[in-house]
Structure 1
Amino acid sequence: PLASVTVPRFHLDMPSSNITSITEFVVLGFPGLQPGYNGPVSALMFFVFLAIIAGNSFILILVSKERCLQKPSYLIYCNLAISDIAFATTTLPKMIARYWAEAKTVSFTACFLQMFLVHFLGSVNSVLLMIMALDRYVAICNPLRYHVFIKNSTILALCGLAWLICLFLMALLVYQAVSLPYCSSNVIVQCYCDHIGITRLACENVKEVQLTAFIVAMTILLCPLAFIIFSYISIIISVFKIADSEGRYKTFSTCSPQLFIIGLYYLPRCFVYIANNINLTISTDFRILMIMLYSLFPPMVNPLIYCFRTKEIKDTLVRRWKIRKVGTVAGIPVKFWIRK
C-alpha cells in the first residue's frame, strides 16, 4: 500500500519575511499511502482510539470505586491512564478525520496546541514510568521499608511534580517554536503536529531551536531511562537471590511485560530523535510508522499489562462478578451486596 512519492509543497504567495504568513497547516500523514487504503487505515485508527479510551477509562473507574485498589502503584497507573486518554483524544480524532473525510488542514493555533499537548503528555509518560520503576525498586529491593518510603501522598506529590515540570519545559519549547516566522511551505509530513515537523517549515535558521528541543527531549528521555535501567538491574539481582524458584518466576513475570513496554516507549523515540539530528536518512513512511507504533501501542496495551494482569485487580473483578451473580439469583439489589 505504500509507494514512493514526491511530497507536495504548498506555498503561499507572500514574500518571505520575519512575519508569519501561514494561517493553517496541511497534515500529510503517510506520504506513500495510496488513497484506496484510506478507509481501512481510518477504521484501524478508530479501533485503536476506542481501545485506548475504553481500557484506560475502565481502570480509572475501577480504582476510584475500590478502596482496596487505592494504593501507590495504582495511583501511578491512574496518572498514566489519564495521560494516555488525553494523548489519544489529542491526536487520533484528527488522524481519523484525515483519512476518513480527507480533512487535511489544521489551523495555525490548533496545530501548535496539538504540538504542545503531544510533547507534554509524552514527557509526562516518561517521568511516570520512572516513578513506576521507583515503586517497583523499593517494593522488591527494600520491601520492609516500602510502606515507610512509598505512601499515597508521596506518589501523588511525585506525579504532580512530573506534570508541572513537563508543563514548564514544553511551554518553553512551544514558545520558541511559535516565535519563528513561517512564510513558506505549510505541509507537515507527519500524522499530527510535532516539533520537528513544524520547525522545519520556518523561514529562518532553526538550528538553535531544534538543538534546545533535542537537549530537552534527551534529558526527559535519558534521565528517567537511566534510573529505570538501574532500578531493574537491581531488581534482577535481588530476584536471583531468592531461593524459591516459584518466587523468582512470579517476580520476573510481573516485571517482564513492563520492561517490554518501557523498551518500546524509549528505544524507538531515542532513535528517531537522534536520526533527525544527525541527518540519518530513513524512509519517511518508516519513520512515521515507528512514531505511530511507539505513540499508540503502549497506551492501548498499558491497561492489560499494568492492571488486568495483577492479582488484586483480578480478585476484585471476580469478587464483583460473584456479588452481582449472587445478588441477581437471590433477588437482592446488587448495591446492597456491594455496600455490605
Structure 2
Amino acid sequence: MSESNQSRVTEFILTGFPGLHPEYYCIASFVLFLVYVVTVIANITVFFLFATNQSLHKPMYYIILNVSACDLLFSTTTLPKIISRYWFQSESISFTGCFVQMYFVHYLGSVNSFIFFLMAFDRYVAICHPLRYTTVLKKNTVHILSMTAWIITMGFPLMLVIRAYPLPYCASNVIHHCYCDHIGITVLACTDRAPYSFPAFVGAMITLLVPLAFIVFSYFSIFIEISKVVGPKKCFKSLSTCSTQLIIISLYYVPRCFVYFASQVGITFSADLRIVIIMCYSLVPPMINPLIYCLRTRDIKRTLMKRIKTNKIRVELKIRNN
C-alpha cells in the first residue's frame, strides 16, 4: 500500500440511522437531545443527593455513584456528536477524534462491566456472609476496588486503538453507526481484518463474560442462601433486596449478550435494526438507571422525597412572605 493511498482518509462520516429519511432528522435530534438532557439531570441528581446526605455514604451507594459517573461519561462521549449530526447536519468526525471516541466507548463499557461485578459482590457478601460485611466491604475497600476497576480497564481499549490507528484506511470513510467503535472503524481498513478482529472479540468476551460469570454465581448463591432460611416459595419475594441491582445489571447484559451470540449462531439483523438495538442498550440504561435507584432503593427514595418536601415548604413560605 502506497503512502498516498494510506493518507486518503482524514475524517470519517457517521451515518447514524442509515434508513432515516431527512424529514425526520429534526425529530431524531430532538429525541436524542431529550435523552441526553434527562440522562445528565438524572445522574447529576444522584450525585447531588449523595453529596448532601450523609445517610447515603454507605458502600452500596458508593458503587451506585460509580455507575452514575460511568453512565454520564458514556452519554457525553456518544450523544453530542450524533445529535449534531442530525441537528446541524454535521456528520463528519476527525480521524483522531473518531479513535478518541472509540477508546472511551470501549473503556467506559469495560468499567461498567466491572462495576456491576462489584455491585454483585456487595450483595453476595451482604446476604451470604452478613456478619463479615462491615469488615469485608468498608468504605475504603469499596474506594480501592472502584478505582481498580477504572484503572485496570484502561489497557484493553488502549490496545484496540494502538492496533487500529496505524491501519491503512484508503477506501470508504463511512461508518454505519451512531458513534465510532472498533468494528465500525476496522471494517474500513484496506487490509486483512482477522488479525485485529479476533483478539478484539476475545478481549470483549473476557470483559463481558468474566464479570457476568461471577454475577450469575453470586445471585445463584444468594438464591440458595435465602431459600435455606425462608424456603423456595418465598425466596423470590425475599430477593427484593437485590431487585435494583438485578434490573440494572439485566439492562446492561441481556441485550448485549443477545446481540453478540445472535451473530455467532447466524441470526442476522438489518443495519437499521441492529443500530437501534445497540443505541437502546447503550443510551437507555444511563437515562433510566437513576430512576430505578430512586424508586427501588429505600434510602435514596426517602432522601429524594425529603428533599422535594423541603423545597416545597420553602416555596410556600416564600409565596406567603411575598
Same fold (TM over 0.5): yes
Cα displacement string for residues 144-166 of structure 1 (whole angstroms, at most 9, x for unaligned residues): 11101111111111111111111
- Structure 1 residue corresponding to 2:277, chosen from 263, 266, 290: 290
Name the SS for the 2:93 alignment partner: strand
Matched, 1:77 2:64: yes
What's 2:139 paired with? 152
Decide which structure has greater helix share: 2
Indicate if the aligned counterparts of 2:223 and 2:235 stay in contact, CA closer than 8 A: no
What's 2:89 paired with? 102
Give the drift of 1:274.
4.4
What's 2:155 paired with? 168
- Structure 1 residue corresponding to 2:16, chosen from 29, 32, 36: 29
Cα displacement string for residues 232-254 of structure 1 (whole angstroms, at most 9, x for unaligned residues): 11112222233399985664334
Indicate if the aligned counterparts of 2:227 and 2:234 stay in contact, CA closer than 8 A: no
What's 1:193 paired with? 180
Give the drift of 1:299.
0.7
Give the drift of 1:169.
1.4
What's 1:143 paired with? 130
Indicate if the aligned counterparts of 2:172 and 2:188 stay in contact, CA closer than 8 A: yes
Higher mean displacement: 161-170 or 276-285: 276-285
What's 2:248 paired with? 261
Identity rate, percent: 50
Name the SS for the 1:242 alignment partner: helix
Matched, 1:118 2:105: yes
Cα distance in 2 for residues equivalent to 1:72 and 1:311: 15
What's 2:206 paired with? 219
Cα displacement string for residues 165-217 of structure 1 (whole angstroms, at most 9, x for unaligned residues): 11111111111111211111100000111110000000111211111110110
Cα displacement string for residues 221-242 of structure 1 (whole angstroms, at most 9, x for unaligned residues): 0000000001111112222233
How has the CA–CA distance of structure 1 residues 43 and 154 changed in structure 2, closer, same or farther, with 3 Å as cutoff?
A: same
What's 2:53 paired with? 66
Cα displacement string for residues 98-140 of structure 1 (whole angstroms, at most 9, x for unaligned residues): 1112111000011000000111001100100010000011111
What's 2:25 paired with? 38
AA paired with 1:312?
D
What TM-score results when the alignment is normalised by the length of structure 1? Answer: 0.86
Cα distance in 2 for residues equivalent to 1:222 and 1:310: 27
What's 1:92 paired with? 79
What TM-score results when the alignment is normalised by the length of structure 2? Answer: 0.90
- Structure 2 residue corresponding to 1:132, chosen from 96, 99, 119: 119
Cα distance in 2 for residues equivalent to 1:199 and 1:74: 39
Name the SS for the 1:25 alignment partner: strand
Unaligned runs of 5+ in 2: none
